[in-house]
Structures are given as structure tokens and as C-alpha cells.
Amino acid sequence: MQLGMIGLGRMGANIVRRLMRASHACVVYDKDPHAVAGLAKEGAVGADSLADLVAKLEKPRAVWIMLPAGEITENTLNALRDLLEPGDIVIDGGNTFYKDDIRRGRALAERKLHYVDVGTSGGVWGLERGYCMMIGGDKETIDHLDPIFAAMAPGVGNTALTPGRPKDDRAAQGYIHCGPSGSGHFVKMIHNGIEYGLMQAYAEGFDILRHANSDQLPQEQRFDLDIADIAEVWRRGSVIQSWLLDLTSAALAGDADLKEYSGTVADSGEGRWTVMAALEEAVPADVLSASLYARFRSRERESFADKLLSAMRHGFGGHVEPKP
């Protein structure tokens, strides 16, 4: 199958590579011509403009936008709306606010264009591990794009099937059709809100372990613990093992003091949107709210826990700390 990809950053470029490994054809565009040239050398078809990308795609066209949420994605969608033809498909794989998806899906439908929102998780490791995808849009369009999603997804692999679920189940493969426009990014938004809470729990726990030899404690209650060893042993059979713990262990093994991190932790929007959704639904979200506020606090004073949060974000997504 053929796909156009707009945005060749950390995830966009690797999605293209994973698709080409599965023998899908990709036409690529980015404002950076070097990024386009690099993937063209690997087998993609390069385009020097949005119009050129559209012209090189077969009908019905499928165009995936992998850009930061907000103005740049909005402008790209507006430009594509005038270039594409009825029956073509626009896919937004970034972390867009789900209410924007609902609005965009309605506007594009007026032009007889199909809109698909894909919450995409996998970060810089997606090329090798595959991408977990939460997809919104109409069923017929999602089914048409299934070869693309199946190639991007991790597949069952070595993960044990949940009892009662068939092996060919999309969810077991690593992707699902959540519902109409906006539902994919809504589910991904909550996913990222949960991610905030999990990361904060690990960060605070290891911060307590690191300060177990504090001179504020009675001598007999002081423990000089090797937190890198603790992270590693918890990866082996404990009930709190996870990929985030894997990344934590790797970061601590490299430098138990995390000296390269300042501890200033950014938030990319989804945590705020999750808390907003909780307010709208009158659903208590104590942990998720507190984890968001902890990131705000990190910009005023940092701690070892904040450094560990930065290390985890760098580990799974290649996120660098904001410059002061």
C-alpha cells in the first residue's frame, strides 16, 4: 500500500522506515530537505512540497501528518484540504486535542475527505518495537488502512495472549478502532495522563530510596542503598515491572546521580487535557492531577525525582529538557 508522510522527525521518519520494511511504498515531505533526501536514499519517494507529495500519490490518496499539535498541523491540514480530492484520506498521528479532531473531521467531510486521528505510542523505539495505535474515524476508512496499521503495530510477539482473546484480534496485535473522529486521540490523551502518574510514582519512590541514608534519620534507620541495583532487580519478576522501569534502570546504570539532567520537566499538553476531561466528566483524578502539578513545580525547584522524570522522557521519546 502507498502512504504519504508529512513530518520526518523522530517518529515520522521511523514510521516510514517500518512501513518500507513491510514493503509499503512511501512518499515523504518535510520542510528540511535533508530529512527528505535521507529517506529517499533508503527507498522512499521524496517530495519538495505538499503539492508535489499529493501529485505523487495514487488515488484514493492516504496522507499521514506527523507534526506537533497546534498551528503547524492546522496550517498543513488547511493546505491539504485544497489539494486533495473527494475520497482521499488525511491521517493525523500527532498528539492533537481530540476536540480539534471532531471539528476537523466535520470540516473535511464537507469536502468528501476522510479524516482519521491516530494516537500513536512508541516513541523513538517504535521502529524496532512497533507502535501502539488508538484510532478514530469511520470504519470503512479504517478497514481500508488496515495494512498500514498492521505493519506499524508490534503484533503479538512474545507477549502472552490475554485469556479469552483471539490471536487475530486487533487489540492483541497492538491497535484498535476506538470510534468516530476524536476518539483515537481521546484514548491516547488518557494514556498519556496515566503515563504522567506512573512516571511520577517511580520518580518519587526512587527519590525516597536515594535519601534513605539522610542524616535526619536515626543512625539505625539509615540505609546506603544502590538504587541502580534496586531498579534492575525490580525488573525481574516484580509486580511493578514495566518499560518505564526498564528505562529507569538503564538511566541509573549509566549514572546513578543523573548529573546530565537538570530536573526541569516539560509537559506536552496531554496531561492538562486529561485533567480538563476529568473536570468535564466530574471524575476524580487525584494521582493524574498531582503528577501534572509536580511537573509545574519542577520548573521552580528541581529534585532527584524530577531528574528521573527527565531521564525517562528522554529514554522513551528522545525528549530533551527545555532550555532555561
Please count the other Cβ atoms lying within 10 Å of the Cβ belonging to residue 14: 21
Q: Is 188 a catalytic residue?
A: yes
Residue 16, CB-side half-sphere exposure with 13 Å CA sphere: 30
pLDDT in tens, the chain (324 residues): 999 999 999 899 999 999 999 999 999 999 999 999 999 999 999 999 999 999 999 999 999 999 998 999 999 999 999 999 999 999 999 999 999 999 999 999 999 999 999 999 998 889 999 999 999 999 999 999 999 999 999 998 767 788 888 777 899 999 999 999 999 999 999 999 999 999 999 999 999 999 999 999 999 999 999 999 999 999 999 999 999 999 999 999 999 999 998 888 888 789 999 999 999 999 999 999 999 999 988 887 778 888 999 898 888 888 888 765
CB-based burial of residue 12 (10 Å sphere; 0-12 exposed, 13-18 middle, 19+ buried)?
A: buried
**Integer angstrom CA distances of residue 11 from 19, 95, 126, 291, 298:** 12, 12, 8, 25, 27
Residue of 188, 204, 270, 321 marked catalytic: 188
Rounded Cα distance, 67 and 96, in Å? 9
Cell numbers for 91, please give them.
491521517
pTM, two decimal places: 0.90
DSSP per residue, 207-257? HHHHTTT-TTS-GGG-----HHHHHHHHTTT-TT--HHHHHHHHHHHH-TT
At residue 203, the pLDDT reads 93
CA–CA dist 266, 13 (Å, integer): 23
Contact 65, 91 (CB under 8 A): yes
- Given this model, what pLDDT does residue 178 score? 98
**Set 195, 204, 302, 321: catalytic member:** 195
pLDDT of residue 164: 82
Q: What is the dihedral of CA 206, 209, 210, 212, to 10 degrees?
A: 160
Concerning whether 195 is annotated as a catalytic residue, the answer is yes
Note the pLDDT of residue 323.
64
